[in-house]
Amino acid sequence: MSSPKTARGPTVTIIPDGDNRERQVCLDCGFINYENPKVVVGSVVVWEDRILLCRRAIDPRLGFWTLPAGYMELNESATQAAAREAWEEAQAAITIDGLLAVYSIPRISQVQLIYRAHLTSPVFAAGPESLEVALFDWDEIPWDALAFPSVKWALDHYREAAASGDLAARANPAD
């Protein structure tokens, strides 16, 4: 496998010919370093109507509750990444049921793909990025201790989809 092309000399921030925004460009070879949004994948994972949440052992938002989610790696599909993140954070084997939502968060340059999923068994444990993991009934979810707004969005969208039977993918809430 060949390594990706990188700049060989000093770079400057300029608008390359044919582009409309500033990029880092190598003055020696003309290589343009395109910086693009990061893709985050995760799942609303359920077991018998309870939702799996992970209490973060890392920053940002150390100690707050989140869905099993994280950055997609090179050479994996989005569903493979979601299953890997569930395993890494919650030692949970899951089955992906379908796409729940696509959230676009420009202020942090992220696109989040959140899936509907279920545990293949009720066996799980905290992985290295989690202080603890637990299954929550809807009224037990620690709403005031959720790590990120998109966690609440995904939980609300999951409940809405389950109640209505409309499994179409959701997007950022209007507010």
Which range marks the domain in which residue 55 is found? 38-164
Number of other residues whose CB lies within 10 A of the CB of residue 42:
25
- Is residue 72 one of the residues assigned to a domain? yes
Establish if 23 belongs to a structural domain: no
Does residue 94 fall inside a structural domain? yes
Residue 9: inside a domain? no
Q: Write the pLDDT tens digit of every residue in 109-154.
A: 999 999 999 999 999 999 999 999 999 999 999 999 999 999 999 9
159 falls within a domain:
yes
Q: Based on the number of CB atoms within 10 Å of its own CB, is 154 exposed (0-12), middle (13-18) or buried (19 or more)? A: buried
Q: Give Cα separations from 16 to 6, 13, 20, 72, 153 (angstroms).
A: 16, 9, 8, 29, 38
In the chain, the number of structural domains is 1
Domain-embedded: residue 137: yes
Tokens representing residue 52 in the block: 């799996």
Strand 38-47 and strand 110-119: pairing?
parallel
Mean pLDDT computed over 68-88: 98
> Per the domain annotation, does 173 fall within a domain?
no
**Residue 19 included in any domain:** no
Query: Which helix (DSSP H) or strand (DSSP E) does residue 150 occupy?
Result: helix 149-164
The pLDDT tens digits of the residues spanning 11-52 come to 999 999 999 999 999 988 989 999 899 999 999 999 999 999
Q: State what percent of residues in the chain have pLDDT above 90.
A: 89
For residue 114, what is the domain's CATH number? 3.90.79.10
- Specify the pLDDT at position 1: 45
